[in-house]
Amino acid sequence: MLRKIRLTCGIICLTLITLLFLDFTGTLHGWFGWLAKIQFLPAVLALNVGVVVLLIILTGVFGRIYCSVICPLGVFQDVAAWIGKKRKKLPYSYSPALSLLRYGALAIFIITLVAGVSFIATLFAPYSAYGRIANNLFQPIWLWGNNLFAHLAERAGSYAFYEVDIWIKSLPTFIVAAATFVILILLAWRNGRTYCNTICPVGTVLGFLSRYSLFRITIDTEKCNKCGLCARHCKATCINAKEHTIDYSRCVVCMDCLGKCKQKALSYQLRTTKARPAKAEENAHAASSKEVNEARRNFLTVTAMAATASALKAQEKKVDGGLAAIEDKKIPNRQTPITPPGSLSARNMAAHCTACQLCVSACSNQVLRPSTNLMNLMQPEISYERGYCRPECNDCSQVCPTGAIHPITTADKSSTQIGHAVWIKANCVSLTDGVKCDNCARHCPTGAIQMIVAEPEKETSPQIPAINTERCIGCGACENLCPARPFSAIYVEGHERHRII
C-alpha cells in the first residue's frame, strides 16, 4: 500500500510539473505553479524559508521521500529504471557509497554557485536539469501535436486550437539537455539512482539528513535468510543483505524492496535504538576508486559538452504574402545583455537563476531565450527578433521559482527600464531607401520616440527617429517592428541594473 501511494503521488507530481513546461498558454501556472516553488534548490535560492524548513522536516521524519515523490528528475529516473528493469530478472546489487564523489560534487556546486560560475552549477541542479529536458525535448513534440490538432480543427471549421512557432531557442542548451537526457537514461537503466547518489547536490544534502530520519526501512535479522532479493531490487543499491544493513543516506524510500521480501523481514517503521555493527557501518560508506573515476568521467563529459557547444540558432523561413522571402533578422551585438523585467539586475539573475527554462516556456511573446554566453550559459535573456516584451505581460515573473525574476505587476513593468533604444543611422530605411517610415515611433508604447526632420533646411528632407532615453523602457517594440534587414536600424541596449522611470 505504501508503495502504491508513493507511486501515485510521484506520477502526479511528474505529470503536472512536465505540463508546466509544456503549457504555452499559461493556464496551468495559476493552478500548479506552486509545484515548481517547493523544489528544494529553487526554494533555497529564493530564500523561501517556510518551504526549506518544511522539506527538512519532511526528510527528518520520513527520509528522502522528496527524491522519490516531489523531485521530477528523481521520478523520471524511476520511470527509466522501471523500463530498463523489465529486461533483467535481478537488475541491481549492493555497492558501497561513493562518499568522495558525492561530497566533492557538492563542494564544486557550492563553490561555483558562490563564485558566480553559474553554467557549472546549473548542470548539477536536478529540477533545472529536468526543466531543460522538458523544455527542449518534450515541448517541441507537444507543440507539433498542438499544430496538428489546429490544422485538423481549422479544416473542420473550428478554432479551438491555434498554431504556434516551433524553433530551437538555443542550440548549446538543446545539446546540454539532450546529453543530460541520454546520460540519465543510460545510468538509470543500468544502475537505477546513480545520479541521485553520486552527483546530485540536493540528494547529498537530504541524504545527510535522512541518516537521522524517524521513519526508515528496517531489516528483521531473525526473519531474514540473506537471500538478497531486496538488494537486487533496490535501485539505490543501498541494501547490504549479507550484513543486514541499509545506507539510509542513499535510500530514497521508494518501497520497492518491501514487496519483494518473501520472508516479510523488511518493514517501514519508527527508528529503533538498536545499534548496527561498526564494521558494517564502515563497509556501507567505503568508496570504490574505479566507480569514482567512472562517475567523474560521466560528469566531465556533460560539462565539456556545455562548455564547447557552438552558439548557433535555427529559425523558420518566412515569406511576405507567399511571394518574396523575407531575410531573417540577426541579433545585434549588444554590449550588455537584456534581462527580464523583475530580475532587478544581471547580477541578481546570475546569482539566483538555475536555468530551469520555466520562464522561457511561459514567454508567449518569444523574446526570452537561453543565453549562449559561457559565464551565464542557459540563463534567460531577452532578444527581439521574433517579438517584443509587451507591457501587459508579466508571465515570466509569475512562474520563476528561484527569485531570479521577482513577481512584478504590469503597472510596475511599464515603469521599469530594462534597457534603452539606440538608433543606427546607416541601417535606417528612411535614409538608405528614401521611403517614409515611422514604425518605431508609431509602435512605441511609452512615446519615447518622435520623428524629426533629418535636415531642417531641406523641404524634402526625410524624417528620422529621435529617442528620449529617459522615457524608454527597453520593451523592444521598435527593434522588432523595424523593417530594416538583417539588422534593425534601432535596437535595445541592456542595463546592468534596472531603473525605475
For residue 477, what is the domain's CATH number?
Answer: 3.30.70.20
DSSP secondary structure of 150-169? HHHHHHTT--SS------BS
pLDDT of 318 > 80? The answer is no
Query: How confident is the model at residue 287, as a pLDDT?
Result: 41
pLDDT of 114 > 90? The answer is no
- In this structure, the answer to whether residues 363 and 259 fall within a common structural domain is no
Range of the domain at 398: 346-500
- Contact 93/237 with Cβ under 8 angstroms? yes
Q: Please name the helix (run of DSSP H) or strand (run of DSSP E) that holds residue 172, with its range, or none.
A: helix 171-191
Is residue 443 in some structural domain? yes
DSSP 77: H
Question: How would residue 120 be classed by pLDDT, with cut points 50, 70 and 90?
Answer: confident
pLDDT of 322 > 90? The answer is no
SS3 call for 356: coil
DSSP 427: G
Q: What is the arithmetic mean of pLDDT over 422-435?
A: 93
Question: How would residue 17 be classed by pLDDT, with cut points 50, 70 and 90?
Answer: very high
Q: Measured between alpha carbons, how far is 355 from 372 in angstroms, rounded to an integer?
A: 12
- Which residue in 462, 488, 493 sits closest to 385, CA to CA? 488
- What are 450's strand-pairing partners? 466
- Contact 118/171 with Cβ under 8 angstroms? no
- In this structure, the answer to whether residues 236 and 371 fall within a common structural domain is no
- In this structure, the answer to whether residues 263 and 393 fall within a common structural domain is no
pLDDT of 311 > 50? The answer is no
Is residue 317 in some structural domain? no
Residue 308 backbone phi and psi in degrees, to 5 = -105, 0
pLDDT of 310 > 50? The answer is no
Question: How would residue 9 be classed by pLDDT, with cut points 50, 70 and 90?
Answer: very high
Is residue 93 in some structural domain? yes
Question: How would residue 304 be classed by pLDDT, with cut points 50, 70 and 90?
Answer: very low
pLDDT of 87 > 90? The answer is no
Query: How confident is the model at residue 491, as a pLDDT?
Result: 96
> What does the radius of gyration of the chain's CA atoms come to, in whole angstroms?
27
Is residue 320 in some structural domain? no
Q: Measured between alpha carbons, how far is 340 from 355 in angstroms, rounded to an integer?
A: 13
DSSP 49: H
Find all residues with CB under 8 Å of 31, minimum gap 6, and list them. Answer: none
- In this structure, the answer to whether residues 254 and 354 fall within a common structural domain is no
**Residue with cell string 535504538:** 273
- In this structure, the answer to whether residues 263 and 351 fall within a common structural domain is no
- In this structure, the answer to whether residues 263 and 358 fall within a common structural domain is no
Query: How confident is the model at residue 317, as a pLDDT?
Result: 33
pLDDT of 236 > 50? The answer is yes
Is residue 327 in some structural domain? no
**Range in 223-237, 267-281, 469-483 the model is least confident about:** 267-281
Q: What is the arithmetic mean of pLDDT over 409-423?
A: 95
pLDDT of 298 > 60? The answer is no
Query: How confident is the model at residue 276, as a pLDDT?
Result: 43
Query: How confident is the model at residue 89, as a pLDDT?
Result: 64
Query: How confident is the model at residue 370, as a pLDDT?
Result: 95
- In this structure, the answer to whether residues 359 and 493 fall within a common structural domain is yes
Q: What is the arithmetic mean of pLDDT over 175-180?
A: 96
Is residue 51 in some structural domain? yes
- In this structure, the answer to whether residues 46 and 135 fall within a common structural domain is yes
- Contact 96/285 with Cβ under 8 angstroms? yes
Q: What is the pLDDT of residues 345-402, one digit of tens each?
A: 999 998 899 999 999 999 989 999 999 988 889 999 999 999 999 999 999 999 999 9
Q: Which of 240, 270, 300 is the last residue of a domain?
A: 270
Q: Which alpha helices (DSSP H) does 233-327 contain, by range?
A: 278-284, 289-308
Percentage of residues in the chain having pLDDT higher than 90: 67
Question: Domain total for the chain?
Answer: 2
Q: Measured between alpha carbons, how far is 26 from 394 in angstroms, rounded to an integer?
A: 11
Question: How would residue 488 be classed by pLDDT, with cut points 50, 70 and 90?
Answer: very high
Is residue 198 in some structural domain? yes
pLDDT of 131 > 80? The answer is yes
- In this structure, the answer to whether residues 239 and 148 fall within a common structural domain is yes
Q: Measured between alpha carbons, how far is 79 from 7 in angstroms, rounded to an integer?
A: 10
Question: How would residue 314 be classed by pLDDT, with cut points 50, 70 and 90?
Answer: very low
pLDDT of 300 > 70? The answer is no
- In this structure, the answer to whether residues 65 and 195 fall within a common structural domain is yes
- Which residue in 337, 334, 405 sits closest to 375, CA to CA? 337
- In this prediction the pTM is 0.84
Q: What is the pLDDT of residues 26-77, one digit of tens each?
A: 889 989 999 999 999 999 999 999 999 999 999 999 999 999 999 999 999 9
Query: How confident is the model at residue 289, as a pLDDT?
Result: 45
Exposure string over 190-225, b if 16+ CB within 10 A, otherwise e: ebbbbbbbbbbbbbbbbbebbeebeebbbbeeeebe
The dihedral region occupied by 181, where left means phi > 0, alpha psi between -120 and 50, and beta the remainder, is alpha
Query: How confident is the model at residue 499, as a pLDDT?
Result: 95
- What are 467's strand-pairing partners? 449
Query: How confident is the model at residue 326, as a pLDDT?
Result: 65
Is residue 17 in some structural domain? yes
- In this structure, the answer to whether residues 253 and 138 fall within a common structural domain is yes
Q: Which of 214, 238, 270 is the last residue of a domain?
A: 270
Q: Which of 255, 270, 285 is the last residue of a domain?
A: 270
- In this structure, the answer to whether residues 82 and 183 fall within a common structural domain is yes
The 10 Å Cβ neighbour count of residue 42 is: 26
Query: How confident is the model at residue 88, as a pLDDT?
Result: 66
- What are 500's strand-pairing partners? 416
- Contact 170/369 with Cβ under 8 angstroms? yes
